Structure formats: structure tokens, C-alpha cells
Amino acid sequence: MIALIPFFPLLGFVINASLGRRLPKTVSGGLASLVMIAAFAVSVLTVWRLADMAPGQRVMEQTLYTWIASGDFVLDLTFRVDPLSSVMILVVTGIGALIHIYSTAYMHEEVDSEYARYFSYLNLFAAFMLVLVLGANFLVLFIGWEGVGLCSYLLIGFWFEKKSASDAGNKAFIVNRIGDYAFILGTLAIFVRFGTLDFQRIATAVAPLVPEPMFGTLSIATLLLFIGATGKSAQIPLFVWLPDAMEGPTPVSALIHAATMVTAGVYMIGRNAVLFGHAPETMAIVAVIGASTALMAGTIGLVQNDIKRVLAYSTVSQLGYMFLAMGVGAFGAGIFHLYTHAFFKALLFLGSGAVIHALHGEQDIRNMGGLKAGLPITYWTFLIGSLAIAGVPGLAGFFSKDEILFETFAHGHTLLWVIGILTSLLTATYMFRLVFLTFHGAPSHLAPSDAPSHLAPSDAPSHDSHAAPSHNGQGLASHLHDAPPAMASVLIVLALGSVLAGYVGVPGHNALGAWLAPSFQARSVTTLSDEQVGTPGKAGASGAGEAGGEGLELSLMVVSSIVAIAGIGLAMFIWLKRRELAEKAAGAFPGLYRLLLNKYYVDEVYDALIVQPIRIVSQEGLWRGVDVHIIDGAVNGTASIVDGGSSLLRRVQTGSVRAYAGSLLIGVVLILGYYLWR
């Protein structure tokens, strides 16, 4: 039954990819959504059955066949559901299905074949992500790992006629390849060390070991795996592809940011919690990278002007939180945040999609404003999403973020906690800057100047004079329409989720933490692991938390609530009341402002340090040198040797019978002579 979960989206992909261009939109889009709903239903059923089992034994396996059998190394294509993957499949299929439904409305302007292509990619994306989270060993996980990389490339570059879109697709793919390379090396290191790739067996083998005090094999292996995770999950130093991924259709961003792809790295670390727990050096690196990514992305998000770009940096920032949680050993908290983040980030992206949809492609928040009246559903759902991500008490993001911060503090990483709190302030501020600039204030998109630059620039002037409300200028205001039913209903469902999702992990009654905890321990030695693994491996939300005292958690909770509300207040003060303050601040620190606006020049630095040297070496050395002279030289040399030899030999072929007969005679005489007189 488990295999059905990835099978359904795969079926949708096969049908839409092979027959899609002949199907009408309702059929191809409906089919794609239907297979996702079916997968979700099967997932719910699976998790239901899982919940019936005894807490320690919650594991279901399905082996499809033996993939590789070589000597005593046997590798099966096995899917395994345990508490951790159960949460993941629910998120992937649940949020994924909602995004599919939303897409049926969002993409309706595409022609039939493009529409089907879009949905086939979307289904394939979900299928690979499900393979990733269900895989019972590194190799099956790796199929999904590579598959989501491929699909992100296809979807980010969906509008491949646009140069920037195909560039962004390439960037995503190539940056991910760097991480994947490290991931393969890490997998190999694990295999060399343990002789198996099965997660459970690795965990069992690791559990009795003493955590590595110094940098050793385990640290190197986990570090390589973590580099792979930084590629998929957009952490320093490989985060650069995610903001550019905005070139894809908005629901794709929602899918990448919420349900699939970027969560892969977090999941992978959670899946190998025992392994990572035994490499404290790596864990420290993970935590530091997570915290610094969170802070860096938060500061960039503060000054960006593209609505989707702000959200992209907020995703990077929130992923930083998740890695921070992973790094301090609070695996349950990290997965909890992953799960709540899926709701509100999907909501925010789909909400921004509704805004972009309503404004016919406008993405610059400086050209928006005052949309509250025209788009009530979008506004209120977006507001809920923003409140949730900002960490306002009572909403989903509050519980998960708070748990991460508490665990960080409880594990003694005070500096990281301060960074986390600071990022929390930034999160609240930039999210509400987005809300206020987009939905409040004067509707600056009514400016008489030629509005949305993105759409139909050619037909704008000619229609302007006589045709009534067209796609620009004054026409836009009257043209504002809130999200169509398919989109609006999804937004409302996600908004409900953003409010309620956090209540499975209320401090004190952390149902999710308790549910996940067995996944972070080696199964067969459960009794041993708690004592032997030590603090980092202790894992689970229930770990140090409960013992540390509820009083501490409560006071930290108050602090982070105050910080969240302060952030919102700050945003309200600056961008709602005194908008000129923002400009003044930017004017006061022009260097800092430019640094942030240009994303710390990371892209430029990478370009100068990596891209250009590779380009020069490739062009001058490999192409003009090796390729032209050595390889082409060898090929052309062979040809000219044959050519020259032939032109010599063709002189022999005179066509004169007598010459042939003469050579025959001479030959015979010579051979006979040789045998007679030798």
C-alpha cells in the first residue's frame, strides 16, 4: 500500500506527459489534482494504521524488489513509513494537493499542451519527493533527491522562452549538483564505514558508538551529507538558487518552498538523527550555518522589492531556523517547524500569486498598495500567514519557532539564541513591511504612468486612447478581481491550517514531538540509546525540554512574543505611518542599504571566484587548447594520414590489365624464389 503513495502522482505524470496535449484543461488539471488527493488519502490511511501500532514499533515497510545484489551487499528498493516520514508524506501530499488545485485556476491562461506539461511536472515533482521521504536507504532517497532537483529545474524554467527563467532553472540545477556531489561522497563514506545504506541499520550500528570527540570519519561523512542538504535546502553557501527560483510560476514556488524540495535537506538530517548525533562537530557547524543563514536571509528580505523575492528570502531564513534546530539536536522541533512552515509559506506564496494574478503580472511591491479593499480574501489570508510566520502567539509559527528557540537556549547556545531572536524580529518586520506596502496605504499602482511593465507592453499605447479599461493605467483598479473560487478556497484552507497546525505541538503536551521521537533513535537499541547517545543524540522535542523546566520555556515564550509583536509594530510605524523614515534610513546608510539590496553581493562574488575562472579555463584551456588542438587535432590528423596514404596508393590502381598481370607475375616469382632458394 505504501508504494501507492508515490505511484499515484507518477501515474498522473505518465498520463499527462503522454496524452496531456490532447486533453482539455479540465481533464489534465483535474487528473493531476485527483491523483494528489488520492495519494493524500492513501497517506492518511497509512498514518492511521501507523497510529494504531505501539509507539515504539511504528514502522511499515514495503519492499518492491531487490535492486542490487552483489556478494553480501544487498540493496532493496524499499519504502518505509515511520513517524518522521508519516509527517512528511502528509505535508507533501496534503499541501501538494492544495497547490495542484490552486494551479488549475492560476495557470488557466496557458494553452492546453503547456497546461498539461505544467501539471505533469508538478505530479512528477510530488512523486519524486514522496520517493525521497519514503526511501528506506540512501540510494532510494537519492533517486528522489535527484528527481526533485530535475523537476525544480523543469518547473523554474517552465517559461523557458524567457532568458531569465531558463537561466534560473540552470542555476538551480547546477547549484544543486554541487550539493549532490557532496551528498554522493557522504553516502559512499557511510557505506565504506558501515557496509550498508539502510537508515535503520546505520542507526543501529552507530548507536553503541561514542560520539566522535574530534573530527573523524563520521564527522566527515555527515558534513558531506550536510553540504548536500545546503544545496537542496538553500543554506549558506548554496542558497543562491532559491531566490532566483522565483522565475517559475508562483504555485511552483509554493510547492518548492513549502511541500517539496527545500524540506529535503532538513528531512535527511532528521532521518539520520542518530548518525548526526554522533558527530558533534558537524552538528555545531549545522547550527551555526543555520543561524547565520537565518539572519543573513532575514536582513536581505528587509529591503527587497519583489513580493516573491521577499518570500523567498523568508523561506531561506526559516530553513535556517530548521537547521538551527537540527544542529542543536532538537530534531523534533526542526521537523515541527518544517510542518507548520509548509502551511504558512504555501499560504503566503499562493496569496502573493493571487495578488500577482489580480495585477496581471506585477510583482514589485512599490507599485502595489491599497489592495486590501479589492482583494479581501487574499488580504485576510495573507495577513494570517504573515502573523503565523512572524510568530504571533496562538498561530502555527509561534509554537514551532518558539520550540526551536527554547531548545537552542536550553542546549546552552545562547549566542545562537540571540541570533534567532534577532531573526524573529526581522521576520516580523519584513513580513509586515510586505503586508503594509502591498495591501495598505495609497494605491500606487493607480499612478498614471504606464503601469505593469511585465505585461503586453506592445499593445498598451494603442489601446489606451479608445479602448476602455485595458490592462494598464487607470484600468487596473476596476480590473482588480479577487482570487477565483479554486484559488480562494485553497487560501482559506491553508489559512485555517496556519492557525491550527501548531496545536499538535503545544508546549507541555507536545504530541508531535512524542510522535516523532522514536524516529530519531536507533530502533532495536531504543533502551540503550538514551544513555549512550548523550545529549546531541538524545533528539526529540521531549529531550531536554521537559526537564529544563516549563518556567524557562514560558519566559522565553514571552520574550519571543514580545519580539514578534515589536517587529510588527516597527513595520507598522515605519511603513504605515512614516514611510519617509524608511527612505531616510536607507539614505543614512547608503552602503549598508546597497549591500542588502544586492544580497551581500554573493552572486557577484561567486561569479568572480567560481563562474568566471571556470569559464576562462573552459574557454581558453579546454576549448581552444585541449579540444581544438589535441582532440580535434587527433581526429583531423587521422583523417589526413588516411587521405595522404590513399592518394599515394591510388597511383597503383592504373586500371591497366597488363600492369596487374605483371605485378601478379613478379609476386609469384618472388614467392616461388623465396621457397626454392631459402
Partner 1 sequence: MIPLGHYLIVSAILFAIGTAGVFLRRNLITILLSVEIMLNAVNLTFVAFGRAHGTVDGQIITFFVMTVAAAEAAVGLAIVIGLFRHRESLNPDAFTALKW
Q: Which residues bind partner 1 (CB under 8 A)?
A: 654-658, 661-662, 665
Give the shortest CB-642-to-partner 1 separation in angstroms.
Answer: 20
Contacts of 31 by beta carbon, 8 Å cutoff, 6+ apart: 12, 15, 16, 23, 119
Taking the least distance from each CB to partner 1, the nearer of 65 and 677 is 677
Helix (H, G, I), strand (E, B) or coil at 638: helix
CA atoms of 178 and 557, how far apart (whole Å): 39
Cell of 40: 493524500
CA atoms of 260 and 477, how far apart (whole Å): 35
Taking the least distance from each CB to partner 1, the nearer of 468 and 649 is 649
Is the preceding omega at residue 243 within 30 degrees of 0, hence cis? no
Give the shortest CB-652-to-partner 1 separation in angstroms.
Answer: 13
Taking the least distance from each CB to partner 1, the nearer of 415 and 669 is 669
Helix (H, G, I), strand (E, B) or coil at 137: strand
CA atoms of 421 and 559, how far apart (whole Å): 9
Taking the least distance from each CB to partner 1, the nearer of 478 and 654 is 654
Which residues lie across from 63 on neighbouring strands? 78
For 386, half-sphere exposure in the C-beta direction (CA atoms, 13 angstrom radius) is 27
Supply the Cα-derived Rg of the chain in whole angstroms: 30
Give the shortest CB-663-to-partner 1 separation in angstroms.
Answer: 12
Taking the least distance from each CB to partner 1, the nearer of 449 and 656 is 656
Cell of 42: 492513501
Taking the least distance from each CB to partner 1, the nearer of 631 and 672 is 672
Give the shortest CB-641-to-partner 1 separation in angstroms.
Answer: 25
Taking the least distance from each CB to partner 1, the nearer of 71 and 655 is 655
**Nearest CA among 281, 393, 383, 403 for reference residue 331:** 403
Is the preceding omega at residue 237 within 30 degrees of 0, hence cis? yes
Taking the least distance from each CB to partner 1, the nearer of 466 and 658 is 658
Cβ burial, residue 583 (10 Å; 0-12/13-18/19+):
exposed
Give the shortest CB-121-to-partner 1 separation in angstroms.
Answer: 58
Helix (H, G, I), strand (E, B) or coil at 470: coil
CA atoms of 633 and 42, how far apart (whole Å): 60
Cβ burial, residue 59 (10 Å; 0-12/13-18/19+):
middle
Give the shortest CB-653-to-partner 1 separation in angstroms.
Answer: 9
Give the shortest CB-675-to-partner 1 separation in angstroms.
Answer: 17
CA atoms of 163 and 247, how far apart (whole Å): 10
65's enclosing H/E stretch is strand 60-70
CA atoms of 606 and 583, how far apart (whole Å): 30
Helix (H, G, I), strand (E, B) or coil at 273: helix
Cβ atoms of residues 483 and 375 within 8 Å: yes
Taking the least distance from each CB to partner 1, the nearer of 465 and 646 is 646
User: Which residue type is seen at 420?
Assistant: G
Taking the least distance from each CB to partner 1, the nearer of 554 and 665 is 665
Give the shortest CB-671-to-partner 1 separation in angstroms.
Answer: 16
Torsion of CA 641, 646, 648, 652, to 10 degrees: 160
User: CB atoms < 10 A from the CB of 376, how many?
Assistant: 13
CA atoms of 610 and 633, how far apart (whole Å): 29
CA atoms of 352 and 250, how far apart (whole Å): 8
Give the shortest CB-658-to-partner 1 separation in angstroms.
Answer: 6
Cβ atoms of residues 29 and 140 within 8 Å: no
Taking the least distance from each CB to partner 1, the nearer of 458 and 653 is 653
**Nearest CA among 216, 230, 66 for reference residue 139:** 66
CA atoms of 60 and 56, how far apart (whole Å): 12
User: CB atoms < 10 A from the CB of 634, how many?
Assistant: 10
**Rounded alpha-carbon distances, angstroms, from residue 513 to 146, 172, 275, 505, 517:** 29, 33, 19, 7, 6
CA atoms of 328 and 482, how far apart (whole Å): 43
60's enclosing H/E stretch is strand 60-70
Give the shortest CB-650-to-partner 1 separation in angstroms.
Answer: 12
Taking the least distance from each CB to partner 1, the nearer of 412 and 673 is 673
User: Which residue type is seen at 234?
Assistant: A
Taking the least distance from each CB to partner 1, the nearer of 54 and 676 is 676
Give the shortest CB-633-to-partner 1 separation in angstroms.
Answer: 35
Helix (H, G, I), strand (E, B) or coil at 450: coil
Taking the least distance from each CB to partner 1, the nearer of 608 and 668 is 668
Give the shortest CB-13-to-partner 1 separation in angstroms.
Answer: 58
Taking the least distance from each CB to partner 1, the nearer of 636 and 654 is 654
Give the shortest CB-662-to-partner 1 separation in angstroms.
Answer: 7
Which residues lie across from 77 on neighbouring strands? 65
Give the shortest CB-654-to-partner 1 separation in angstroms.
Answer: 6
Cell of 111: 494553452
Taking the least distance from each CB to partner 1, the nearer of 614 and 668 is 668
Taking the least distance from each CB to partner 1, the nearer of 216 and 662 is 662
